[in-house]
Amino acid sequence: MNIHSIKGMRDILPAETRLWQFIESAARDIFEKFGYREIRTPILEETSLFQKGIGEGTDIVNKEMYTFVDRGKRSLTMRPEGTAPIARSYLENNLAQDGFVSLYYMGPMFRSERPQKGRSRQFHQIGIEAIGSSSPYVDTSAIQMMVYLFRRLNLKDFKIKLCSLGCADDKQKLAAELRKYLSPEKNRLCDDCKVRLEKNILRTLDCKVDSCRALLRNSPKARDFLCNSCRSHYSTVKKMLGEMGTGYVEDVNMVRGLDYYTNTVFEVTHPGLGAQDAIAAGGRYDDLIKDFGGKAAGAFGFAIGVERLLMAISAEGNLVVPDNKTDVYIATTSENVRLEALKASTMLIEEGICCEMNFEERSLKSQMRQAGKKNVLFTVIFGDEELKRNEVVLRDMRTGEQANIKLDELAQKIKGGI
Ligand SMILES: [Zn+2]
Ligand SMILES: [Zn+2]
């Protein structure tokens, strides 16, 4: 066959899904205990949602979105992140009427970046959004919740980097100073940054071109423009994290490549990943709901990159998730007994026993070999003669012992032996 998966988008195979499920169910369990509830938004949204939410001039919007015109001539985009769709849903469905709302999500996101280690075009995120509060307790509690999840996954070597970008006013002051600083150097900026200088100057801060980074090393920093209220919010978060025993380092150079962030932002890195070392990131976005036309509502969110998290987990090697095991294999010696065998296998499954059976015309010997390969605890053999007496042969694969038993005692016998 000459059909392949799309570059940068890969299959997650049965050998891996066990671990994915483990991570997802740990996240569900912990988030639900913190009062978060799941929200599922569509993969496709109107393109303008992301242009407005993430911001024109960001790399995501300018270079990375899967955007296309549908049959109705609408411009649609496959979601590159989860926050803008959830903010839309919050407003559209009036979730604000419940006051504070805390939501979590998990699923695929799409960005057409150059595929490399730790970056794929369909990638997966597990994230949360807490909307309707500006309290620093929300920031702290959410970061704490993420740390609990990492601990549940036996992850140890991660590092939390913290910074504050300030409110919209503070960001404007920073932008003005940055303009003063960069304008005389305009010719030394890359082409993208020349445009950013005019359109969205704060995005020069996340330029990856070396010459721009060198130029920006000594540029004005967000921390120098925090107003009293932002300063106090940030120090409260730091104090509480410290008192709760959650370690962090401050990183004054941290920027997030999305316009909506204000105030507290953070990133979690792990040494097992190489150059792209972030496994999670997030922060406050106190103006997004208002910018989307809603009543001002403080908000905080983060997203964990599942593929990145898996790399960190495998680098540490401390999480072993056992695979589900088949307990019973049902062998059949002829077509005459197969329906009864199917009924019995269904009955065993209803009793909570993991059971597979042979559907094919094949020798008992090859079926026993199959059972051996599956490493089952028991094989049940359905034969014509035995079935006439309502009996089957039950073989304990660990001892090799076998005995005829009544069909209606099968579940009991197996349960007693597992
Ligand atoms: Zn401020
Ligand atoms: Zn640049």
Q: Could you tell me the distance, in angstroms and rounded to a whole number, from the CA of residue 253 to the centre of ligand 1? A: 18
Q: Are 284 and 170 in contact (CB under 8 A)?
A: no
Task: Report the chain's terminal Cα–Cα distance, integer Å.
Answer: 43
Q: What band does 22 get if pLDDT is binned at 50, 70 and 90?
A: very high
Query: Ligand nearest 169 Cα, by number?
Result: 1
The whole-number pLDDT of residue 263 equals 94
The whole-number pLDDT of residue 59 equals 84
Whether 97 shows a pLDDT value over 90: the answer reads no
Fill in the amino acid letter for 109.
M
Q: Could you tell me the distance, in angstroms and rounded to a whole number, from the CA of residue 211 to the centre of ligand 2? A: 7
Query: Ligand nearest 164 Cα, by number?
Result: 1
Q: Could you tell me the distance, in angstroms and rounded to a whole number, from the CA of residue 215 to the centre of ligand 2? A: 9
Lowest mean pLDDT across 110-119, 133-142, 286-295, 357-366: 110-119
Mean pLDDT of the 17-25 span: 97
Two structure tokens written together for 85: 């769709």
Give CA torsion, residues 84, 87, 91, 97, to 10 deg: 170
Mean pLDDT of the 147-174 span: 96
Query: Ligand nearest 216 Cα, by number?
Result: 2
Query: Ligand nearest 57 Cα, by number?
Result: 2
Q: Could you tell me the distance, in angstroms and rounded to a whole number, from the CA of residue 292 to the centre of ligand 1? A: 20
CATH architecture of 14-167+227-316: 2-Layer Sandwich (3.30)
Q: Could you tell me the distance, in angstroms and rounded to a whole number, from the CA of residue 299 to the centre of ligand 1? A: 15
Q: Could you tell me the distance, in angstroms and rounded to a whole number, from the CA of residue 233 to the centre of ligand 1? A: 9
Q: Could you tell me the distance, in angstroms and rounded to a whole number, from the CA of residue 216 to the centre of ligand 2? A: 9
Lowest mean pLDDT across 37-51, 113-127, 232-246: 113-127
Q: Could you tell me the distance, in angstroms and rounded to a whole number, from the CA of residue 162 to the centre of ligand 1? A: 16
Q: Could you tell me the distance, in angstroms and rounded to a whole number, from the CA of residue 257 to the centre of ligand 2? A: 13
Q: Could you tell me the distance, in angstroms and rounded to a whole number, from the CA of residue 78 to the centre of ligand 1? A: 33
Q: Could you tell me the distance, in angstroms and rounded to a whole number, from the CA of residue 213 to the centre of ligand 2? A: 7
Query: Ligand nearest 182 Cα, by number?
Result: 2
Lowest mean pLDDT across 83-92, 94-103, 311-320: 94-103
Q: Could you tell me the distance, in angstroms and rounded to a whole number, from the CA of residue 207 to the centre of ligand 2? A: 5
Task: Considering the chain, tell me which residue range(s) the CATH 3.30.930.10 domain(s) occupy.
Answer: 14-167+227-316
Percent of the chain scored above 90 by pLDDT? 83
Query: Ligand nearest 170 Cα, by number?
Result: 1
Task: Return the CATH superfamily for domain 328-417.
Answer: Anticodon-binding domain (3.40.50.800)
Q: Could you tell me the distance, in angstroms and rounded to a whole number, from the CA of residue 166 to the centre of ligand 1? A: 5
Q: Kindly report the average pLDDT of the chain as a whole number.
A: 94
Distance CA 57, CA 204 (A): 9
The whole-number pLDDT of residue 254 equals 83
Q: Could you tell me the distance, in angstroms and rounded to a whole number, from the CA of residue 208 to the centre of ligand 1? A: 27
Whether 65 shows a pLDDT value over 80: the answer reads yes
Q: Could you tell me the distance, in angstroms and rounded to a whole number, from the CA of residue 184 to the centre of ligand 2? A: 15
According to the 3-state scheme, what is the secondary structure of the chain? CCCCCCCCCCCCCHHHHHHHHHHHHHHHHHHHHCCCEECCCCCEEEHHHHHHHCCCCCHHHHHHCEEEECCCCCEEEECCCCHHHHHHHHHHCCHHHHCCEEEEEEEEEECCCCCECCECCEEEEEEEEEECCCCHHHHHHHHHHHHHHHHHCCCCCCEEEEEECCCHHHHHHHHHHHHHHHHHHHHHCCHHHHHHHHHCHHHHHHCCCHHHHHHHCCCCCHHHHCCHHHHHHHHHHHHHHHHCCCCCEECCCCCCCCCCCEEEEEEEECHHHCCCCEEEEEEECCCHHHHCCCCCCCEEEEEEEHHHHHHHHHHHCCCCCCCCCCCEEEEECCHHHHHHHHHHHHHHHHCCCCEEECCCCCCHHHHHHHHHHCCCCEEEEECHHHHHCCEEEEEECCCCCEEEEEHHHHHHHHHHHC
Task: Considering the chain, tell me which residue range(s) the CATH 3.40.50.800 domain(s) occupy.
Answer: 328-417
The whole-number pLDDT of residue 150 equals 98
Q: Could you tell me the distance, in angstroms and rounded to a whole number, from the CA of residue 205 to the centre of ligand 1? A: 19
Mean pLDDT of the 391-412 span: 95
Q: Could you tell me the distance, in angstroms and rounded to a whole number, from the CA of residue 37 to the centre of ligand 1? A: 30
Q: Are 287 and 262 in contact (CB under 8 A)?
A: yes
347 burial class (0-12, 13-18, 19+ CB within 10 angstroms)?
middle
Whether 275 shows a pLDDT value over 90: the answer reads no
Whether 19 shows a pLDDT value over 80: the answer reads yes
The whole-number pLDDT of residue 378 equals 96
Whether 274 shows a pLDDT value over 90: the answer reads no
Mean pLDDT of the 338-356 span: 95
The neighbour count for residue 3, using CB atoms within 10 Å, is 4
Q: Could you tell me the distance, in angstroms and rounded to a whole number, from the CA of residue 212 to the centre of ligand 2? A: 5
Query: Ligand nearest 59 Cα, by number?
Result: 2
Query: Ligand nearest 188 Cα, by number?
Result: 2
Distance CA 226, CA 234 (A): 9
Q: What band does 325 get if pLDDT is binned at 50, 70 and 90?
A: confident
Distance CA 132, CA 289 (A): 9
